[in-house]
Structure 1
Amino acid sequence: MAEPFIKTKRPPQIRTGLTDTGVKKAADKSARTRAREFALQALYQHLVGQNGADSIDAFTRDLVGFHKADSAHYDALLHGCIESEKALDENITPLLDRKMAEISPVEHAILWIGAYEFTNCLDVPYRVVINECIELAKAFGGTDGHKYVNGVLHKMAPSLRASEVAADQSRQA
């Protein structure tokens, strides 16, 4: 007599290092990635609440998990973006397909981080800057915000990191 067919539930797929939504688990994040996340939250407070850098900084440093972030990189991003917000917006605005006021504050802050790192953090490869900003947009932004951030930063990279982008393109050719 044949064995009866028993439908069994398939075991869940194991995806190490990712949450159910595909985002990196907190334990797998680098100190710089954490610094970007805290800087994003701080810049959001600045954009939405018009809060000053010092009060935002004091608040953010008290958040759970801040001790695992690269505080020097966080400081550079927070204070650098706020101090040079006009220059950053001047780099970003020509690449947008709409007015800056129509961009969500999350994507606006992420674009600031990208533009700031392109300009001031030359130790971070431009592809890493783009990837980190895409990951921020996936984790904190709107549904397709990461696509928009990707498009803008890919247009911005050749003007702010011309030699690095050219060298990268010649290697791929």
Structure 2
Amino acid sequence: MSGAARDPAKGRKRTGARVAAVQALFNAEASGESVETVLDQFLRHRLGAVPGQEGFEDGRVEDADAALFVRILRAAATEPGTLDTVIAGHLAPGWGMHRLDPVIRAILRAAGGELREKDGPPGRVVIKEYMDIAHGFFGGEEPRFCNGVLDAMARTLKPQDF
């Protein structure tokens, strides 16, 4: 996954944290490791610039707000079944979480974690940020799909923003 993304976060620490969160959630699901284990691995080995490495192509997020990264992961990992139920509630009938591309699942879970935070950013900011990330990973219809689900989730989890 790390080589697939374009670099939407260059110079944007908050966006970098969100990209790293999506990558970490993807890695946790793919490896079967806990979110806390992957979080620790990212903090030690994936966040920050390293001379001679090129960033996203090497699986690194050079410019990331580490505190935001940790908050997103922990929010997404708190009661993951409840978050998945919220996401699944905004999918077409007959579509379950298992039918989603794993990167899309990670995007929706990271965004859902942020949307669940009472003092988190406004829903529209979360949608825009994760849409930028979706466009970094996909060139087809996937970002449009993400937009629809993110909009519905934001209206459910942060109705005061709309």
Superposition TM-score, scaled by structure 2 size: 0.78
How many Å separate the matches in 1 of 2:6 and 2:35?
32
Q: What is the rounded CA distance, in whole Å, between the counterparts of 2:99 and 2:18 in structure 1? A: 23
Moved over 6 A (4+): none
The alignment partner of 2:89 has SS state of helix
Offset at 1:32? Answer: 1.0
How does 1:12-31 map onto structure 2 within 5 Å?
24=8, 26-27=10-11, 30-31=12-13
**Amino acid in structure 2 at the alignment position of 1:146:** P
Larger radius of gyration: 1
Q: Which amino acid aligns with 2:106?
A: A
Kept in 2, the 8 Å contact 1:95–1:156? The answer is yes
| Partner of residue 119 from structure 2, selected from 100, 119, 122 | 122
- How far off is 1:68 after superposition? 3.0
Partners of 1:100 and 1:88 in 2: how far apart?
Answer: 11
How many correspondences in the alignment?
143
State the match for 1:111 in structure 2.
108
Deviation at 1:155, TM superposition (A): 1.4
Q: Which deviates further from its counterpart, 97-106 or 45-54? A: 45-54
**Residue in 2 aligned with 1:86?**
81
Alpha-carbon contact 1:106-1:141 (below 8 Å) kept: no
Aligned equivalents of 1:149 and 1:100: distance in 2?
Answer: 13
CA contact (8 A) 2:47 2:66 kept: no
Q: Report if the CA contact (8 A) 1:34-1:68 is conserved.
A: yes
Q: Which runs of 5+ in 1 are unaligned?
A: 1-20, 166-173
Question: In the alignment, is residue 34 of structure 1 matched against residue 16 of structure 2?
Answer: yes
**How big is the shift at 1:53?**
2.3
Cα RMSD for the two superposed structures: 2.2
Partners of 1:23 and 1:50 lie apart in 2 by 26
Does the CA-based 8 Å contact 1:107-1:141 persist in structure 2?
Answer: no
Percent identical:
28
Which one of 63, 74, 85 corresponds to residue 46 of structure 2? 63
Partner of 1:14: none
Task: Compute the TM-score of the two structures, normalised by the length of structure 1.
Answer: 0.74
CA drift at 1:122: 3.2
1:119-144 alpha-carbon deviations (Å, 9 max, x no partner)? 10534111110011111111124632
Q: 1:67: Cα distance to partner?
A: 6.2
Residue 154 (structure 1) shift:
1.2
